[in-house]
Structure 1
Amino acid sequence: MSDGQMSKTENKKKSIANQNMGLDESLYPAVLNAIAHPLLIISETGQIKYVNSATENFFEMGAPILLRQNISNLVMFGSPLLALIKQVNQKQIAVNEYEIQFEIPRLHVTKIVDIQARLLESHSDVEGRHMSIMFIERGMANMIESQILSRNATKSISNMAEILAHEIKNPLSGIRGAAQLLGATANSDDKSLTTLICDETDRICNLIDQMEQFSDGRLPEYESINIHLLIDHVKKLASNGFGKHVKFVEHYDPSLPQISGNKDQLIQVLLNLIKNACEALEDVPNARIKITTAYKAGLKLKVPNRDKLLSLPFELSIEDNGSGIDSAFVPHIYDAFVTNKKGGKGLGLALVAKIIADHSAVIDYVGDKSGAKFRILFPLLHTSIEAKD
């Protein structure tokens, strides 16, 4: 049998096998586009032959433009990706690399990614050898991991707050009352000490009150929310107070549907994030905060009380042009009592993380030395309601 006849026989066998499994080749593009991670196919020369939707988002470039590119045009000279491609071609094996610093020069960004590359099975209808390359952003994996850790942390705080409220607040009220009685008859020197006692007991009570927000096990009331109205409300508060020195820039997608949420809690989240950004920009010339909303398909998560994966396509990002958060603090920013802010208590972002988790959403810090950037991914209205049901 000739090579051509063998090839036809092989293809016929594959076609029969696909039919037996119920596979329809016309569905292949839809299947590939459903993959949440960027996936592209290149030729032996590095010419891009196929990209899925996630790849367009990853490179912030449409498929028609990407398909005219060679992979070497999209990466830095000497990129680890090029060495990985060479290794796969030479050894003809699948190669996985983990936590690669992948630079995209056109966007001036560096992403931490896992890369999986493998040769595709040759096909008689396609010339030459082709390779599939998949990128798995570590930022996404770290984001999911941080949400799990922050939820565990808030549970610990909940238990602690209940104990503190009962065991400490009651004696504190007695101490404060006694200090007030002593202050009424004390001389000027002693009165300053009784005032100090009152001030410190008030401070401890306020701290416990803040911690009690974590222990409130009641489910908040949810309603249909237009997030843009809440952003404008908080922006107005900031512009007339703590954010007078900041210019706000909005990039809204007005076509975005509403989300399901608790209005007061979401305002608290926005207020915390924007206030933190304004405080970080106090000594920065041309201080600017950019607020963006967009639709980003791809990410799906398993959430409690829900069998199916929950899609989180509604993206809200808050970005400033300060110096960013010290990299040493980034892994712990959602932990309670961890802060690098002078006078900070380290409860603001921990509370933000709890509220976001209660909304079946996730929050991620993706900033660098050019500024802090927080990204929140929400489910849409109908999926939010399903998750709570």
Structure 2
Amino acid sequence: MSDGQMSKTENKKILVANQNMGLDESLYPAVLNAIAHPLLIISETGQIKYVNSATENFFEMGAPILLRQNIANLVLFGSPLLALIKQVNQKQIAVNEYEIQFEIPRLHVTKIVDIQARLLESHSDVEGRHMSIMFIERGMANMIESQILSRNATKSISNMAEILAHEIKNPLSGIRGAAQLLGATANSDDKSLTTLICDETDRICNLIDQMEQFSDGRLPEYESINIHLLIDHVKKLASNGFGKHVKFVEHYDPSLPQISGNKDQLIQVLLNLIKNACEALEDVPNARIKITTAYKAGLKLKVPNRDKLLSLPFELSIEDNGDGIDSAFVPHIYDAFVTNKKGGKGLGLALVAKIIADHSAVIDYVGDKSGAKFRILFPLLNTSIKAEG
């Protein structure tokens, strides 16, 4: 059986119910390969009988190799998938499980998936019982959902920043001025208190200045950007300062076209992510940050004021070999004022999320205990909101 093809017997086994619909059997393989989610068929003993193209990508293994495997060989002993298969066989019912941590030991990765398993209708030409298994990856759906929540959060911060700037910042200037006047005539003990007042008013003013970055509702001015030049610029800054202890590894795709973006804002994004990674690697031996660019077709996003879906094929990832982000913080890393860094204000990633949203892009954290990894998916220059109006 060649890659992505099935015999007539396999066709009947998988889609026998469609015979009454008048669908030509020659279309069955094309129909199954058109399914975006990984779909495979196994025998009663777990032997893999068919995989579609999405399954090859999911396991990063070609169909000829997969078709020689038993499903048990692809998962860990005690995998929830094996228990699910057993349940379907014993009770002869369809089973759906949601948000399963599915480990692929060969790839050393864990994916969050929904799994749908059901027995196929038996057919006289087919010996034994067969089961279809479909995996629906949750990572992408959760990523899009988190971006929407982050955008809503930044809108709230924008409104709050405008109020703070007007109602608090001006009175703070008066308080600081009064403290300076008092400090000029105060004794040494009282002078320390007036200095404390000045320091605290400065700190609050700086915090409001940072928050005001969220309140500018204007879209940035876009231009054609070679993201690799911006990465090299930020790497140079890091290597001569906060990232002297880190080795940078680049895996660039030089054939990638340019993107549409605001240079200063994208530098701010890269600087924030790379600085965070460098700080996380301060006590890590052989500290390393890998920066990758690649073309990844497939993801499309519905954006406001646009009828067509926007394709996001330009992938930029920044990955370190630290301890990763505590899983308790991951759902909230783009929320303002949420941080697990000592002395951190929790505004860096919230600002990153806003800038990425303004560029009609998405950012996702896909790290684990072996390191933090942020992935950004951009539209290309000729498919951007700016280019298409």
The bucket for the TM-score relative to the shorter chain is 0.7 to 0.9
Per the alignment, in what secondary structure is the counterpart of residue 374 of structure 2? strand
- Residue number in structure 1 paired with 2:9: 9
> Residue deviations 1:168-226, cap 9 Å, x none?
11111222233334444445444443333322222111111111111110011122222
Greater CA drift, 229-238 or 372-381: 372-381
CA gap of 1:268–1:329, structure 2 versus 1, over 3 A, is same
Question: C-alpha displacement at 1:125, in angstroms?
Answer: 7.5
Say which SS state the counterpart of residue 291 (structure 1) adopts.
strand
* Aligned-pair CA distance for 1:317: 1.7
Paired residues of 2:356 and 2:362 also in contact (CA < 8 A) = yes
Provide closer, same or farther for how the CA distance between residues 122 and 343 of structure 1 changes in structure 2, counting only shifts above 3 A.
same
Query: Quick one: structure 1 residues 30 and 187, their matched pair in 2 at CA, closer, same or farther if it must change by over 3 Å?
Result: farther
Q: In structure 1, what is the Cα distance between the partners aligned to 2:237 and 2:3? A: 75
Q: 1:25 to 1:304 in 2, by over 3 A?
A: farther
The answer to whether the 8 A contact 2:4-2:52 is kept is no
Q: 1:12 to 1:314 in 2, by over 3 A?
A: closer
8 Å Cα contact 1:251/1:291 also seen in 2 = yes
Greater CA drift, 11-20 or 48-57: 11-20
CA contact (8 A) 1:291 1:319 kept: yes
| In structure 1, C-alpha distance between the alignment counterparts of 2:75 and 2:175, rounded to whole Å | 65
**Counterpart contact for 1:336–1:347, Cα < 8 Å:** yes
Aligned to 1:149: 149
- TM-score norm. by structure 2 comes to 0.86
Moved more, 50-59 or 274-283: 50-59
Cα distance in 2 between the residues matched to 1:225 and 1:331: 31
Query: Structure 2 vs 1, CA of residues 30 and 384 (structure 1 numbering), >3 Å: closer, same or farther?
Result: farther
Structure 1-normalised TM-score?
0.86
Bigger shift: residues 89-98 or 6-15: 6-15
Classify 1:271/1:387 alpha carbon distance in 2 versus 1 (closer, same or farther; 3 Å): same
Other-structure match for 1:202: 202
Alignment RMSD (CA, Å): 4.9
Q: In 2, distance between residues paired with 1:278 and 1:65?
A: 40
Specify whether residues 139 and 179 from structure 1 end up closer, same or farther in structure 2 by C-alpha distance, changes over 3 A only. same
Q: CA deviation at 1:383?
A: 2.6
- Closer, same or farther: CA 19–305 of 1 in aligned 2, 3 Å: farther
1:73-121 Cα distance to aligned partner (Å, 9 max, x none): 2111222212322333444432211122211111122222110123345
Shift of 1:42: 3.1
Q: What are the superposed Cα offsets for residues 334-387 of structure 1, whole Å, 9 maximum, x if unpaired?
A: 111111111000111111111112222222222222221212222233332379
The 5 Å alignment of 1:232-311 reads 232-311=232-311
Which range moves more in the overlay, 173-182 or 331-340?
Answer: 173-182
Which structure 2 segments of 5+ residues have no match?
A: none
- Deviation at 1:313? 2.6
Cα 1:3–1:107 change in 2 (3 A) is: closer
Structure 1, unaligned runs of 5 or more? none
Stretch of structure 1 that moved more, 185-194 or 77-86: 185-194
The 1:43/1:6 distance shift into structure 2, 3 A limit, reads: closer
* 8 Å CA contact 2:179, 2:195 repeated in 1: yes
Q: 1:140 to 1:240 in 2, by over 3 A?
A: same
1:314 and 1:379 in contact (8 A); partners too: yes
C-alpha contact 1:361 1:379 (8 A) present in aligned 2 = yes
- Does 286-295 or 334-343 show the bigger shift? 286-295
User: Is contact 2:5–2:29 with CA below 8 Å preserved after alignment?
Assistant: no
Superposed CA deviations along residues 142-184 of structure 1, whole A, max 9, x for unmatched, are 2222212211211111110010011111111222233334444
Using a 3 Å threshold, how does the CA distance of structure 1 residues 62 and 184 change in structure 2: closer, same or farther?
Answer: farther
Q: 1:299 to 1:43 in 2, by over 3 A?
A: farther
Contact between 1:36 and 1:299, CA under 8 Å: does it hold in 2? no
Contact 1:36 1:298 in 2 (8 A): no
**In structure 1, C-alpha distance between the alignment counterparts of 2:306 and 2:159, rounded to whole Å:** 26
Q: Taking structure 1 as reference, are residues 286 and 191 closer, same or farther at Cα in structure 2, changes over 3 Å only?
A: same
Distance in 2 of aligned mates of 1:388 and 1:41: 43
Give CA deviations for 1:295-349 in whole Å, capped at 9, x if unaligned.
3333333222222333323222211111111222111111111111110001111
Change (3 A) 1:300 1:340: same
Asked if the contact 1:305–1:387 (Cα under 8 Å) also holds between the matched residues in 2, the reply is no
Number of aligned pairs?
A: 389
Q: Is the 8 A contact 2:13 2:126 kept in 1?
A: no
Instruction: Report if aligned partners of 2:3, 2:64 keep a CA contact under 8 Å in 1.
Output: no
Check whether the contact 2:4–2:29 (CA below 8 A) recurs between aligned residues: no
Comparing 124-133 with 174-183, greater Cα deviation is found at: 124-133
Q: CA distance change for structure 1 residues 327 and 4 in 2, over 3 Å: closer, same or farther?
A: closer
**1:15 Cα deviation (Å)?**
12
Instruction: Determine helix, strand or coil for the equivalent of 1:177.
Output: helix
Contact 2:6–2:29 at 8 Å: present in 1 too?
Answer: no
Q: Is the 8 A contact 1:97 1:116 kept in 2?
A: yes
Give the drift of 1:37: 2.6
Rounded to whole Å, the distance in 1 between the matches of 2:326 and 2:174 is 42
Mark the CA change 1:203 to 1:87 in structure 2 (over 3 Å): closer, same or farther. Answer: same
**Is the contact between residue 17 and residue 121 of structure 2 (CA under 8 Å) also seen in structure 1?**
no
